[in-house]
Amino acid sequence: MLAALLSIYKSVPYGYNLDFQEANTQIFDVLNDAAETLEILRDFIEGLELEEEAIRAYVRDKPCWSSDLIELIAVETGKPLRDLYAELARVLHMGAERGGSSLDGFLGKYGIKKDDLLNLYKRKPIEKRLKELLEYASARLQKDLGELERLRSLLIKCNEMLISDSL
């Protein structure tokens, strides 16, 4: 459709808008496709159901997501995130070279036990965050659908004006 629109605009003299009427059908098709796509996305997002137990089971066997761990340590110690990331990367790299885990030492340095890492998610529940993200996405899709409808209505009015002026 883009190629069709560009070919219509190509070589049109400035101020000669009659040829733009040919672009209207292409523009309407694009707007209709975009509106249908947003409606599908809205239905998809609204239909998602979060399985709390599945999420907890997934998180339970993971020691931690490094961003949450680093954020917790940064907030509690005041150290810059980049420094903490670099330190954790060195610790994990050394542990991989030695064939053991030096994560315990890193955590101990900041007073965190491996068993307590699940508490990161109790303080910042993933289910709530996912729900917030889905609600935001749904609201944004509704707003975009409204904007598309507004544009479609405006284009219909413009099209009617062009047709009435050309008669």
Domain with 145, as residue range(s), is 126-166
pLDDT in tens, 21-62: 767 777 888 888 888 888 898 888 888 887 777 776 766 655
What is the number of structural domains in the chain?
Answer: 3
And the tokens for 37? 């796509």
Is there a single domain that holds both residue 80 and residue 119? Answer: yes
Shared domain check, 143 and 119? no
- pLDDT tens for residues 119-150? 665 665 566 677 777 888 888 888 988 888 88
- pLDDT value of residue 101: 62
Residue-wise pLDDT for 46-105, tens only, equals 888 877 777 767 666 555 566 777 888 888 889 998 999 898 888 877 876 676 567 778
Q: What is the pLDDT of residue 121?
A: 58
Give 46's contacts (C-beta < 8 A, 6+ positions apart): 138
Q: What would the two tokens of residue 36 be?
A: 């249908």
